[in-house]
Amino acid sequence: MTHLTRRATWRWIPRILATALAALTVAAGLALPAHAHASLIGTDPAEGAVVAASPTAVTFRFNEPVTLPDRAVQVFDAAGAPVPADAAAADAVVTVSLPGGLSGTYVVAWRVISADGHPIAGSLSFSVGAPSPHRIQPVVADAPSWVAVPLAVVQVVLYLGLFIAVGLGVFGAFVLPEGSRVDRLRGVLTRVGRYGAGVAIVAAVASVGLTVADQQALDPDGLLTLRAWTGATTDQLIAVALLIAGVLTVGADASLASRSKRRLVVGVGAAAAVIAPAVTGHSRAFGPAWLVIATDILHVLPGSVWLGGLIGLAIVLAGTRGRPNLGVVTLTRFSTLAAGVLAALLVSGTVLTWRIIGSWEDLFGTSYGRLLLSKIVLVAAASGVASWNRFVLLPQVTGGATEGPTRRARGQAEAAKGRNLLRLGRLVAIEASILVVVLGLTSVLVDQSPRSSGQAVATGRTIVANAPLGTSLTALATAAPGTVGRNVLLVQIQDAGGDPVDTAYPPTVRVRSDAVDLGAVPVVSQASGTYRGVVVLPSPGSWRIQVSLRLSEFENPVTELVLDVS
């Protein structure tokens, strides 16, 4: 192969890396402070409550299990002075133990970590006896705003490195033809894949420190302390270990002479690597867990095969200009694989959207939903380019005759095929560039809250009630802001231990008072065992929330809860 062809082979790599840099810029611009995926659904006492006697504890109930970081809860009196208090988390309930003899107004500032690793913070005020006439706003450490942009950039780099490493590994093992003619190209693919693996490993390690800094509200100097690197959760450490082991395994396949062994090694490594994002992703917070986690894995794998395969295809097409037949064979093989990849992405993406997006309101009314729509548009554009390549340009390349009565005719046919391959290679680069931007959007999506609920519950007055449902379940209902007008209604089905449980069918929720029957309120799945609806309450007083739940063909327990609306 000539020196010119070698330069052509590498010429595609800077172009795609330049597009990756542009995607990093887009992601940094889109990055917002990390939004939690847990929601506060009830407190005792309620926000703004005035209680007669000093409570022994304050409880916070969330819609999913939470954990406590360092300095998770701080209690302040009306003068802004700290009050000694201890906090403990048990599944979805945080209990703050208070000293005795309290009087006046108090503020409880809290910060917890949701099941998917994202922090959520807020405050609760209540009074004992009577509100204090004079109150000083306590000084509470704000969430670290500096970490949002670097964490988003690191996530883009991580996904890009992961997709390049896995995608090029699969391309080399399952698409690239065998033979000594492609040994140099295989070496190029292996080197680029290993560069991607190295980038993914560095980004994964960096993400651990940045994530802990986000969770523990550390300042930038905190990254230089052991606290930022020893505070990772077990899930985070497992995810990093899987990713490192996976990409290193994929990169080791080039030393194997047997194609079957290479495919086995790449398959095992790719499986381990693509499991890593699902271990810490937000999809695991939505039920059923086995379905969304498995679907998340089956979404990442074809995505990496698509993007990494396009990069590999661009390298091969640029490196086989003097041998168009090799490029045609590789292109045909990849086109066959790409059809299955697109189908897998469509199915898995549809399932994830169905489980994670709770309603049309969440799809069009949240940052997550709007970014998801942008991602869908870009994927559709990339699919359009892929379809043009497959059904328009590929037949032109494979259908061109290379035989002729004279050497000149054969040369002209080969030259025409080479020109068509060059055109197709340019479109492949465009397709890969679109997918890199999609990757940037994906990295931002993981820090957005998929659903809009919980905000009113966490910041306004919340009224709470619960009642037994059947022999072993409990129904919990909350309404926020608990006043006349529009209220966010959350209904959670709990087991005997107070944990939310998945049900085969959503509950039927009806709302009525002595004077007005509002009928059934539509509810959508909010999280495991938790359902959300919106109801407009026309008058104050006692409102009865009837909850019925079909458990089987013959079992349909019904209970009624009373909420007092002001």
If you average pLDDT over residues 281-306, what whole number do you get?
A: 79
- Buried-state track 313-334, b at ≥16 Cβ within 10 A, e below 16: bbbbbbbbbebbebbbbbbebb
CATH of 461-565, one of 3.40.50.11900, 3.90.320.10, 2.60.40.1930, 3.30.565.10: 2.60.40.1930
Distances (CA, A) of 258 to 77, 182, 253: 72, 15, 10
- The whole-model pTM stands at 0.66
d(CA 320, CA 338): 21
Please write down the HEC assignment for all residues of 268-292: HHHHHHHHHHHHHCHHHHCCCHHHH
Which class in CATH covers the domain with range 40-142? mainly beta
| Helix, strand, coil percent values for the chain (each to nearest 5) | 55, 20, 25
Helix (H, G, I), strand (E, B) or coil at 473: strand
Q: Encode pLDDT of 321-349 as tens digits.
A: 666 677 778 888 888 888 888 899 889 88
Q: What is the mean pLDDT of residues 426-439?
A: 86
Name the CA radius of gyration of the chain, rounded: 28
Per-residue model confidence (pLDDT) at position 350: 87
Query: At 40, is the secondary structure helix, strand, or coil?
Result: strand
CA distances from 98 to 58, 103, 473, 492 (A): 7, 12, 30, 27
Mean pLDDT, range 119-133, rounded to an integer: 82
User: Residue 410: which pLDDT band, with cuts at 50, 70 and 90?
Assistant: low
The whole-number pLDDT of residue 196 equals 93
Has residue 294 got a pLDDT over 90?
Answer: no
Question: What is the crossing angle of helices 183-216 and 3-30, to 10°?
Answer: 20
Confidence band, pLDDT 50/70/90 cuts, at residue 122: confident
Give residue limits of the domains in the chain.
Answer: 3-33+146-445, 40-142, 461-565
What confidence score (pLDDT) does residue 365 get? 73
Comparing C-alpha atoms, which of 522, 492, 459, 488 is closest to residue 122?
459
* Three-state secondary structure call for residue 144: coil
Asked whether this chain's domains 40-142 and 461-565 adopt the same fold, the reply is yes
> Buried (b) or exposed (e) across 5-35, using 16+ Cβ within 10 A?
eeebbeebbeebbebbeebbebbbebbeebb
- Is 109 in contact with 125 (CB distance < 8 Å)? no
Interval 150-160 mean pLDDT: 88
**Under the phi-then-psi rule, with left for phi > 0, alpha for psi from -120 to 50, and beta for the rest, what region is 159?**
alpha
Q: Each residue of 182-198: pLDDT tens digit?
A: 778 888 888 999 999 99
